[in-house]
Amino acid sequence: MSNVDLKLLDSLSSEQKNACVCMENMLLTACPGSGKTRTVSYKLAFLVNQFQGSRRLHIAITYTNRAADEIMARLDAMDVTADNIWTGTIHQFCMEYIIRPYSMYSDRLRRGYHIIDEYVQREYKREIRKSLGINCKDWELDKHPRIKEAYKKLLMQRKEIDFEDILIESLKILEQRPYVAENIASIIASIQVDEYQDTNENQYKILAEICKKNNEIIISFIGDVNQAIYGGLDGIAKTKDEISSLFEQEFLEKHLTGCYRSIQQIVDYYSNYAVNRIEIASMRTDSDKDAIISFEDSISKEELADHVAEIVKERLDQGEKEEEICIIAPRWELIFSMANKLRMKLPDVMFNAPDITPFKYDPMNPFYLLAKLTFMKTQGHEKTRKRYANDVIGMLKNDYGINIKKGFDCFTLLKIINSVIKLSDADGIEVYKNVVGRVMSSLKVDLSNEEALENCYNQFLEKTYDRVRNNSLSTTCCDLTKCFEEKHGVVISTIHGVKGEEYNTVIAFGLLNGLVPHWNDIFEGDRRNTAYKLLYVLGSRAKENLYLISETGRTTSKGALYTATDEIVNVEWEYTKL
């Protein structure tokens, strides 16, 4: 069917349905497991149905690309016609609707620009540190005024912008050229902002500049103040009144309060860490089921992997699927080490752990997307591949000024990529370079005559070779194909990495002062709020079982012993004895 059957809303709860059919501006607070993403998806479907015949857009702004993909997958499953639905991050929105079409109105961007990622940013700042003779650690680079000033000058000289600049320049264009905001506002029917608590000030202002030019735009902010774990990136959870004042419009406040994920004991436990305490009721039919909630602070780091392996084996023996178990730590280095040890101790168990791959994830880089299109599987991913191919063409045309010849479309690009033979044991990077060469040849592009595009390509290859060399990675076509395959098994990730996910069993370790919360938050920030939000997110991932571990024996760089996170120690709870 081309339009959503409104009977689909019958599967929603009354709170979810009320949020979906609300045609006014709305701040929707959603507790963990209340069906937030489901509600956003159904609301988009409902709006498409309500605006039948209209070409105006329905925008869903997400914090991650993964969340955007999930929303599109849900809409595809509902067979919703998504021609006038756009999903993506705020940076992608700014590029698509502000910078690419209106960069000529920016003094900085009108002569061309190139987006750099975190890798290039870090390398630039390290080079500046060295040239200025400044003695500071990598994590202090962003705080040093001379480095910051020199970095900004360097970007200006090289006609480059970083992610922060995307927001700054977008806001300048909207504020200095009001008719740009009017043009954008005229093509939008609705905006849904997911995880609004992680929105920063410039992002709020960008959306406000647009919405103030068309008060018919229906805008919804959806999220949970208690899960605002990106405060270090300047995320702000504004109140309804603050949002109303900024947007100069009235907002309703609605709530999703029922938890369909966790049994009540789990809900009651993680509620101890709520910064803004609310009553949450488990809506599961077995809500009164007994949970396993344990806290151990006497296991040494040497015993840790064995202990975690025992828990995993026990849960699997109880009939749980591998995908229903998640192991969480606050830092990636702890994750990599634990993943390697568990693979050795449990060779028959599959683990979905982050691996360092040759190609650094960067969906706003056309050469990353070309790598993904080269090595991702084709069957069952036709819509996604078509979308990526269109993105590549759009970036080449709009970001780098490449003349796309008539008739060269996403199907042409995919045909070129698919025509390259990829033998399983061939050098994948050489195959990738062959793909890039064929694409450029088809477009009649000589990279040596396209400075910005050539720099982007060379930097991408440099990053790739660095990652291969520094981590001794294999680069056969078979290995690179695995990098883009959907992984299965016991999930191993960070607290930030599992935000929005859910598992029957959660096993968390590294719960130590200095890690949760980080030393910066202990000495310079609001340690209690930061720790509470991290622990709230961590605990609310679990459906039935939650194992918390503050291992002993870890030491700081100065040799001091790490201790169990105070905020956990101070909670009064009758933990399960293992």
Q: Which long-range contacts (CB under 8 A, 24 or more apart) does 461-467 make?
A: 461/429, 461/433, 463/119, 463/360, 464/358, 464/359, 464/360, 464/429, 465/429, 467/356, 467/357, 467/358, 467/359, 467/360
Vertex 336, ends 331 and 339: CA angle to 5°?
120
Known binding residue 259? Answer is: no
Contact between 282 and 264 under an 8 Å Cβ cutoff? The reply is yes
Distance CA 344, CA 367 (A): 35
Distance CA 482, CA 484 (A): 5
Known binding residue 211? Answer is: no
Known binding residue 35? Answer is: yes
> Is the link from the previous residue into 178 a cis peptide, with omega within 30 of 0?
no
Known binding residue 478? Answer is: no
3-state secondary structure of 26: strand
3-state secondary structure of 347: coil
Known binding residue 31? Answer is: yes
| SS3 of the chain: helix, strand, coil, percent, to 5 | 50, 15, 35
Contact between 236 and 245 under an 8 Å Cβ cutoff? The reply is no
Beta strand 490-494 with 503-508: parallel, antiparallel or unpaired? unpaired
To which residue do tokens 């994590």 refer?
139
Distance CA 394, CA 20 (A): 32
Amino acid at 310: E
Beta strand 57-61 with 85-88: parallel, antiparallel or unpaired? parallel
Known binding residue 384? Answer is: no
Distance CA 505, CA 490 (A): 10
Distance CA 33, CA 381 (A): 28
Known binding residue 231? Answer is: no
Known binding residue 37? Answer is: yes
Binding residues: 30-37
Binding residues for ATP: 30-37
